[in-house]
Structure formats: C-alpha cells, structure tokens
Structure 1
Amino acid sequence: MTDASGTGEDGTGGADRGAELAANLAEVRGRIAAACAAAGRPADAVTLIAVTKTRPASDVRLLAGLGLTDVAENRDQEAAPKAAATAGLPLTWHFVGQLQTNKVRSVASYADVVQSVDRPRLVTALSAAAERAGRTLGCLVQVALDGGEGRGGAAPGDVPALADLVAGAPGLRLGGVMAVAPLGADPAAAFERLAEIAARTRDDHPGAGTVSAGMSGDLEQAIACGATHVRVGTALLGGRRAIVR
C-alpha cells in the first residue's frame, strides 16, 4: 500500500511506482542510446543524472535499485535530508541549483559535485567548506547562455578566469562546464555554443571533460553537441509534486 507521495508503508516505494520508474528509465536510456548512435558516440559516453526534486527518497532508492548511480537536487533544504535518508547507497550526488553562500557548508557535507559554480565568492566559500569537511568537491562552471536572466551562470567571457580559480582552490576539482538552454531559444544553437566554451576550457584544463547539458525535452540536441551528462527529471519521475521534506 502506498501513500499520496507514492511511498510504501515501509518507506521503500510501492510496486506500481517501481514498475513505473523502471519503464521510464528504460525509455530514457533508449533515447540516450539512440541519440548517441546518431551522433556516432558510444552509449556509455553519456551519464544519466536523475533530477529528483519534489520526489521522495523512496524514488531515489528505487532508481538506485534499477542501477542508476547519479542523482541531482537543486534545493539544499530538500537535498540534505534526502541524501541522509539514502546514505549508504552507491550514489553520486549533484547539486544543480543556484547556490547561496549561506548554504555552502550544508551542501559540501553531502554533494559530490556542485554543477552551479558561477562566481568567485562561491568558489572561495566552497573551498573553505570542503577543506573543513575533509572532502574534495567536483565543480562545474555554470555558463549563462541567456545573458544571466535569472537562471544563474557566469557570462561566457568570465568562464576562463572562474575555471582557473576553481582549479587552483584547495578542496575543489574542476570537472568542466554546465548550462541550461535558454527558454524559447533553439537548444541546438545554445549547446553548440556551450561545446565551444567547453573545448576552450579543456584546452586550459585537460582533465575538465564534463559537459552537463540537456534535460527531458532537449537531451538529444545536447548529446549531438557533445554532452557527457544529461539531467532528466520529468521524463523519469513524472511532473512535479509538492516539496517532500
């Protein structure tokens, strides 16, 4: 028996929800494989990240049981308890939302990768928090492809200096770049621009090969432009629900 959130009485999620997630996961993986084939890339060149915002920890456990290894959240107040509730599972946690410095210490305690690094002050705060926690945090520089109109990100011209700052900061590891296609824009054109920025970043930092781009509606275009990670929420988990505490 499940409650309104789809969580079973034992907290693991109902059988129906498990079957739903399995079907969704198979469909998304099929889309990724087809997009990789069309781009002449191996299917394992792209990592699927499940964006589980507003969904319960039971969904995370079910996805982990289906072999998914990467999970993302964009709000610390939801991510922290969810990460704690799934501690011990073989998961990589990504923080993908705009991050205020007063949340950095909490995020640094559970996130393995912070994908939304977009300003020097945040780099400084993350470095201090990682050092304090005795951890090394992977970091992606978020690039604003829309002129920075409310979705966060560094201006493309600021990316090289910010990448240098991350690469030199104690407790941080520069992984690459991330972006969200601007609303109403051609995603292919946006991701082509990101690919150019990613290539320049790799020229300066050869180990920074991650390109996080593409979501439920545009993952094919992102993969065609070289995305190594896609962040999928709705296509995997369905529409948003009330925030689960």
Structure 2
Amino acid sequence: MSDIDPARTEQIRANLQAARDRIEAACAKAGRSPSEVSLVAVTKTHPASDVRALASLGVVDVGENRDQEAAPKAAETADLDLTWHFVGQLQTNKARSVASYADVVHSVDRARLVRALGDRAAEAGRTLTCLVQVNLDDDSEAGVLGPRGGVDPSDAPGIADLIEEQEALSLGGVMAVAPLGGDPYTAFGRLHEVAGRIRDRYPRATMISAGMSGDLEAAIERGATHLRLGAALLGARGTNVG
C-alpha cells in the first residue's frame, strides 16, 4: 500500500478545489448544474499514492491512458472503491488486460477493438461501458484514424451499433479530444451533434467525455458530462508541481 504524503495531499486538495471552482463557474455561464459534470482524474505518470490522495478527497473516477501503467496501479489500489476509466489509444492485444480492471473505455474507434473488448470482457465475466471516440480534426476522413484516434463523425453511429451488439459491452456515449490549434468550442459543438444522433438511437448513451485541463470551459459550454483532468489536479507529468 502506498503511503499518502500529507503535504502532497494538501497540494492536490488545493488543485482540486481550483478545478471545481472553474467547473462551477463554467456551468453557471452555460446555465448548467455542476452535478451534471463528472471529473475524471487522469493520473498518468503519477504514483499510486496520488490515486490514494485523490480518493481520500472524494474523487472516485480515475483515468489512465497506458495499460502498462494502469494495470499495476489499479491492482495496487484495488482496496479502494474506484471507477477506472481507460482514456488512451488501445491496441487490441491489450484488450484482455484492460477488460480485467477498467470500468469505462473512452477510446473505442474501430470494429476490431469492439470485438476484442466484447470477447475479453465476457471471458472475465465483466461488463464494460464503452464510448465511441470521435475524430474532430477538420481534415478527418471516414475510416482513417487520426494520430490520436477516433472515427469520422459520420461513422460514429456504426461503431455505436457494434458496441450495442456485444453482450458484455454497454454503450455509454461519445468521447473526443479537441484538435491541436483549433477552436475547442467549434470542435466540441460537432461532438455534441454526434452525441445527439447516437442518443436518439440509444437513449441511455448520455455520456459526453470532452475537455481537459486547458479547455474544460469550452467542453462544459458544449454539453460535456465527463472532464478528463490531469495537470490541473496533479501538476506537470512526472512531477509533484501543482
């Protein structure tokens, strides 16, 4: 079990409060309730002790983007009542491992991955919530994954259909990363439209995973239900700077 450093916990507490203040302000501006927005703490490159500190502060949603870091961290904190979110690009050969600990997979963007996750989750006797990752780059082409993954918006409903066909998978909604150098308000507006089309077909698929430390205000304005925050909570990667 990792020890929790009181000074580090206080640093995270301050960062968490600042993030929640930003979320509340953005929700007020957008005419939304803060209760509609969940915070997923992305702990990549940070130790399991930070996960414990976050849990001690009431954070229950934890995200990772690399299986080789997520699997041992999830095992080390298995005594905590956490919901684990896998938010990074996922290779099909990692599906068995991810299906063993993740509760939500945000980055589902191709049929082969849907089948792999469905098979591995069934083998493990678990149900995974899956989000369709949408490529919001202006030059995205149908069927072509961008450098950070995601399907063309026009192909997202098809992936949603495939997820729903898998007994061990549950369609949660959509996820996206704002394009580098682009306007996040415009990009997340496109995601909101895709989310609406999928929700019309599958009313339970209400999750919109959008927004990180630098663009959470735009995401909230455009209907995000889940924010993926790393640096805003834990500081720069691999450091304890707040």
- TM-score under structure 2 normalisation? 0.95
Aligned residue number for residue 4 of structure 1: none
TM-superposition CA deviations, 1:14-62 (whole Å, max 9, x none): 1110110000000001111111111111111000000000000000000
Aligned residue number for residue 122 of structure 1: 113
Q: CA deviation at 1:157?
A: 1.2
TM-superposition CA deviations, 1:78-130 (whole Å, max 9, x none): 00000000002121000011100110000000000000000000000000000
Give the letter for the 1:108 counterpart: A
CA distance in 1, matches of 2:147, 2:56: 36
Match of 2:96 among 89, 105, 110: 105
- Asked whether the equivalents of residues 130 and 171 of structure 1 are also in contact (C-alpha less than 8 Å), the reply is yes
Aligned residue number for residue 54 of structure 1: 45
Give the letter for the 2:62 counterpart: V
CA distance in 2, matches of 1:29, 1:39: 15
TM-superposition CA deviations, 1:162-209 (whole Å, max 9, x none): 101101111000000000000000000000000000000100110000
Match of 1:169 among 166, 169, 183: 166
Q: Which runs of 5+ in 1 are unaligned?
A: 1-9
CA distance in 2, matches of 1:122, 1:57: 28
CA distance in 2, matches of 1:42, 1:183: 28
Q: Which runs of 5+ in 2 are unaligned?
A: none
Give the letter for the 2:194 counterpart: I
| 1:155 correspondence with 2:152 | yes
| 1:138 correspondence with 2:135 | no
CA distance in 2, matches of 1:88, 1:36: 33
Q: CA deviation at 1:12?
A: 1.8
Aligned residue number for residue 80 of structure 1: 71
Match of 2:22 among 27, 31, 40: 31
Aligned residue number for residue 237 of structure 2: 240
| 1:199 correspondence with 2:190 | no
Aligned residue number for residue 86 of structure 2: 95
Give the letter for the 2:74 counterpart: A
Identical-residue share of aligned pairs (%): 64
Corresponding pairs, count: 233
Residue aligned with 1:84, SS = helix
Match of 1:188 among 185, 189, 198: 185
**What is the CA RMSD across the aligned residues, in angstroms?**
1.0
CA distance in 2, matches of 1:161, 1:179: 16
- Asked whether the equivalents of residues 12 and 62 of structure 1 are also in contact (C-alpha less than 8 Å), the reply is no
Q: CA deviation at 1:13?
A: 2.6
Aligned residue number for residue 220 of structure 1: 217
Give the letter for the 1:45 counterpart: E
CA distance in 2, matches of 1:15, 1:59: 11
Q: CA deviation at 1:214?
A: 0.2
CA distance in 1, matches of 2:55, 2:151: 32
